[in-house]
Structure 1
Amino acid sequence: MARVSIFPLSGALLYPGLQLPLHIFEPRYRALISDALARDRRIGMVQPQRAEDGAPLFAIGCLGRIGEFEALDDGRYNVILEGESRFRILRELDVTTAFRQVEAELLSEPADGPLAPIERASFEREARRFADSQGYSVNWEQVSRLDDVSLINGVSQIAPFDAAAKQALLEANGLSERCELLVQLMQFFGRRAEGDDDGVTLQ
């Protein structure tokens, strides 16, 4: 178990092995970064369940280590957070700090092998359809050179889905399960964007 100082931010997810740039301007989160830099440089990224102050938190987040950072003259920070481990919140702690803290269990990541060729092909096919429907310009040659983990987790982190969908991706148990869910979500949100809601489900 670990005591984790958290940054609740809807739509901003971090995955182990990936990076997340953050611009920190609120006083309580400037205090969070300052405290982390003085200690072990680690904070937890987790989504709130509602967009309001003090809202309940989703159970799964990701611990990140502050890598590069820039302390601005007015007290703000620009930081690059490097994902280390997902965690499960056990309970929120009663603290006097301006930022929230939790007791958490660090989760070991599944020993993922590579995706099956049919899984990778299915993902890339659906990703092309989704990108076209959303009007995104993608360098597919560069995408094809990414390893499976970087590709699936990277797309999961930046995909323009709602908070609940992004949370489901973070909670997926392993790369294959996350890939399958990602394909379903691209189908769902892609069709919804085209106005084809009839019969579209996430099941």
Structure 2
Amino acid sequence: MSNYPFDPSFSNLPEEMPIFPLDGVVLLPKGDLPLNIFEPQYLSMVDDALRGSRMIGIIQPFGGKIAANGDAIFRTGCAGRITQFTETEDGRYIISLRGICRFHVLKEFPQTQRGYRLVKPSWVPFEHDMDSSHCVEIDRKNLCGLLRRYFELQSITLDWPLLHEIEDDEVLMTMLAMICPFTASEKQALLEAPCCNTRANLFMSLLEMSVQQDCSGCSH
């Protein structure tokens, strides 16, 4: 069970759910994803989600291919629950999703009259996503060393004091895996990792490969 009182139980996850295809963006279980919503069909999607389960599936487009309802999508995404919602004066919604559980797309329905996409998700393979136990233990000294080099290569500034304030290793790894500018396929691999410990190991490997590739490039 989730530690958050408003999160649904596994048995109450929806049988149908809108999806929001986003290239290069993944939501992970227990992660938080801020979104700026401005396209009419996605404003309608948020309206309908707020009237229902408050759940939206975040999923990546697949390889530039086209399907019946738009871009082809990967089979696996992650459902997020709307936890924050703000209206802007220029007609946008600013929302935040908390990752609840991954899903496989079993079926995509015809596009809704309101313009967004709707799927039938399979939750069963990912029931453990809603377990409140923690399985991640990381070498923070090694992690911080790799992160410093990686973010320097990417010309990204990181709030190091904030990073050090995060005591929970799983929360830290989830946040970093979501914000690091990996490729779409690398982000998908992180999403599809069997468990959070496997995801943490893969994340460290991706950092190491990025740093090593840059170092080898400098030596020639």
Q: Please tell me the TM-score bracket, short chain as reference.
A: 0.7 to 0.9
Displacement of 1:126: 2.2
Structure-2 change in CA distance of 1:91 and 1:144 (3 Å): same
- In structure 2, how many angstroms separate the alpha carbons of the residues matched to 1:63 and 1:34? 16
Aligned-residue Cα RMSD (Å) equals 2.5
- In structure 2, how many angstroms separate the alpha carbons of the residues matched to 1:197 and 1:45? 37
Matching of residue 113 in structure 1 with residue 126 in structure 2:
no
The answer as to whether partners of 1:133 and 1:194 remain within 8 angstroms in 2 is no
The answer as to whether partners of 2:112 and 2:118 remain within 8 angstroms in 1 is no
Q: 2:121 aligns with which of 70, 83, 104?
A: 104
Query: How does the TM-score come out when normalised to structure 1?
Result: 0.83
Matching of residue 8 in structure 1 with residue 8 in structure 2:
no
Matching of residue 125 in structure 1 with residue 145 in structure 2:
yes
Q: Could you say what secondary structure the match of 1:16 adopts?
A: coil
Q: 1:178 aligns with which of 199, 209, 215?
A: 199
Q: Could you say what secondary structure the match of 1:65 adopts?
A: strand
Matching of residue 136 in structure 1 with residue 149 in structure 2:
no
Amino acid at match of 2:44: A
Query: How does the TM-score come out when normalised to structure 2?
Result: 0.78
Q: Could you say what secondary structure the match of 1:17 adopts?
A: coil
Q: 2:186 aligns with which of 162, 165, 171?
A: 165
Displacement of 1:114: 3.6
State the identity %. 34
- In structure 2, how many angstroms separate the alpha carbons of the residues matched to 1:96 and 1:192? 45
Unaligned 5+ residue runs, structure 1?
A: 199-203
Q: Deviations over 1:77-101 (max 9, x none)?
A: 1111122111111121224331111
Displacement of 1:51: 4.6
Q: Deviations over 1:145-189 (max 9, x none)?
A: 421111111110001111111111111111221111112211223
